[in-house]
Structure 1
Amino acid sequence: MGTPFMLKKTPLAVAITLLLSLQAHAEGYKLLEQSVSSMGNAYAGRGAQVTDATLVYSNPAAITQLTGEHFSGGLNLIHARTRYNDVNAVSAAGRPVAGRDQGKALLTEVVPFAFYTQQLTDDLSWGLGFYVPYGLSSDYQADWAGRYFADETAVKVLSLQPAVGYKLNEWLSVGAGISLNRAEGILSKFKDHNGLCELGTGINSLVGRDVYNAAYCDSHYEVSGHDINVGYTLGIHAQPLRGTRLALVYHSAVRYNLKGDSVITNTPITAATAGNTPGLISIAPTLPLLDTATGRLASRDRLVEKSQLALTTPATLTLSADQDINHVLSVQASLVWTGWHKFQSIDIISNDTTPAISTSTSVALGGAGYIGYIPQFWHDTWSASFGVTYIYKPGLTLRTGIAYDENPISTRHKTARIPTSDRVWLTAGLTHRLSANSSLDMAYGYMFMDDVSINEAEYGVANNRLNLANVQATYANTAHVIAIQYNRTF
Structure 2
Amino acid sequence: MSRLSRSLTLAAVSFAALVAAQGGAQAGAFALREQSATAQGYSFAGAASGSGYLSSMFWNPAVITMMPGWQFEGHAALIIPRVDINPLPSVPTFALGGSGDIGQDALIPASYASYQINDMLWVGLSTTSPYGLVTDPKMNWSGQLYSRSSKIFSVNVNPVLGVKVNDWFSFAVGPSLQYFDITLKRAVPFPGAPAASATLPGAPSAILDGDDLGFGFTAGVTITPMAGTTIGLGYRSQVEHELEGNLSAPFGSIGPFARLPITAKLKTPDQFTLGISQVVTPALTVHAGFEWTNWSVLKTPLVIGPTGGAVTDIPLNYDDGFFYSLGFDYKVTNQWTVRAGLAYEQSPIDTQIRSTRLPDNDRIWASVGLGYQWNDQLSFDVAYTHIFSKETDIRILPGHQDFEGLPFVADVDAGVDIVSVGLRYRWDNPKVAIPAAPIVRKN
TM bracket, shorter-chain basis: 0.7 to 0.9
Cα deviation for residue 267 of structure 1 reads: 3.9
Structure 2 residue aligned with 1:257, among 236, 239, 242?
242
Cα deviation for residue 51 of structure 1 reads: 4.8
**Sequence identity percentage:** 26
Cα deviation for residue 71 of structure 1 reads: 0.4
Name the SS of the counterpart of 2:27 in structure 1.
Answer: coil
Q: How does 1:278-297 map to 2 (within 5 A)?
A: none
Q: TM-score, with normalisation over the residues of structure 1?
A: 0.77
Name the SS of the counterpart of 2:48 in structure 1.
Answer: coil
Please tell me whether the aligned partners of residues 215 and 266 of structure 1 are also in contact (alpha carbons under 8 angstroms): no
AA in 1 matched with 2:232: A
The reply to whether residue 221 of structure 1 matches residue 176 of structure 2 is no
1:322 corresponds to: 277
Please tell me whether the aligned partners of residues 373 and 459 of structure 1 are also in contact (alpha carbons under 8 angstroms): no
2:437 corresponds to: none
Question: Compared with structure 1, are the counterparts of its residues 186 and 89 closer, same or farther at alpha carbon in structure 2 (3 Å cutoff)?
Answer: farther
Question: Compared with structure 1, are the counterparts of its residues 468 and 174 closer, same or farther at alpha carbon in structure 2 (3 Å cutoff)?
Answer: same
The gaps in structure 1 that reach 5 residues or longer are: 1-20, 201-212, 275-301, 354-367
The reply to whether residue 470 of structure 1 matches residue 410 of structure 2 is no
1:157-200 deviation digits (Å, cap 9, x = unpaired): 10111011101111110111211110011111111469947978
More strand by share: 1
Cα deviation for residue 470 of structure 1 reads: 2.5
The reply to whether residue 178 of structure 1 matches residue 137 of structure 2 is no
| Structure with more relative contact order (C-alpha pairs < 8 Å, separation 6 or more) | 1
1:14 corresponds to: none
Structure 1 residue aligned with 2:351, among 411, 414, 417?
411
Question: Compared with structure 1, are the counterparts of its residues 396 and 96 closer, same or farther at alpha carbon in structure 2 (3 Å cutoff)?
Answer: closer
In structure 2, distance between residues paired with 1:76 and 1:468: 40
Cα deviation for residue 219 of structure 1 reads: 1.7
The reply to whether residue 46 of structure 1 matches residue 56 of structure 2 is no
In structure 2, distance between residues paired with 1:478 and 1:403: 15
Question: Compared with structure 1, are the counterparts of its residues 323 and 115 closer, same or farther at alpha carbon in structure 2 (3 Å cutoff)?
Answer: same
> In terms of Rg, which structure is larger?
1
Question: Compared with structure 1, are the counterparts of its residues 217 and 129 closer, same or farther at alpha carbon in structure 2 (3 Å cutoff)?
Answer: same
Please tell me whether the aligned partners of residues 69 and 116 of structure 2 are also in contact (alpha carbons under 8 angstroms): yes
In structure 2, distance between residues paired with 1:42 and 1:214: 41
The reply to whether residue 160 of structure 1 matches residue 151 of structure 2 is no
Cα deviation for residue 450 of structure 1 reads: 2.0
Q: Which moved more, 1:433-442 or 1:371-380?
A: 371-380
Q: Which moved more, 1:108-117 or 1:95-104?
A: 95-104
Name the SS of the counterpart of 2:132 in structure 1.
Answer: strand
The reply to whether residue 398 of structure 1 matches residue 383 of structure 2 is no
In structure 1, distance between residues paired with 2:219 and 2:199: 57
Structure 2 residue aligned with 1:344, among 272, 278, 299?
299
Cα deviation for residue 387 of structure 1 reads: 0.5
Please tell me whether the aligned partners of residues 453 and 472 of structure 1 are also in contact (alpha carbons under 8 angstroms): yes
Cα deviation for residue 412 of structure 1 reads: 1.2
The reply to whether residue 236 of structure 1 matches residue 221 of structure 2 is yes
In structure 2, distance between residues paired with 1:216 and 1:422: 33
2:417 corresponds to: 480
Please tell me whether the aligned partners of residues 64 and 166 of structure 1 are also in contact (alpha carbons under 8 angstroms): yes
Cα deviation for residue 469 of structure 1 reads: 2.1
Please tell me whether the aligned partners of residues 145 and 199 of structure 2 are also in contact (alpha carbons under 8 angstroms): no
Cα deviation for residue 89 of structure 1 reads: 8.1
2:438 corresponds to: none
Q: TM-score, with normalisation over the residues of structure 2?
A: 0.85
What is the aligned length? 406
Q: How does 1:345-360 map to 2 (within 5 A)?
A: 345-350=300-305, 352-353=306-307
AA in 1 matched with 2:300: S
1:60 corresponds to: 61
2:265 corresponds to: 310
In structure 2, distance between residues paired with 1:395 and 1:452: 43
In structure 2, distance between residues paired with 1:100 and 1:49: 47
Name the SS of the counterpart of 1:341 in structure 2.
Answer: helix
1:109 corresponds to: 106
1:335-374 deviation digits (Å, cap 9, x = unpaired): 1111111122242221x25xxxxxxxxxxxxxx7323234
In structure 1, distance between residues paired with 2:344 and 2:190: 41
Cα deviation for residue 449 of structure 1 reads: 1.3
Question: Compared with structure 1, are the counterparts of its residues 50 and 413 closer, same or farther at alpha carbon in structure 2 (3 Å cutoff)?
Answer: closer
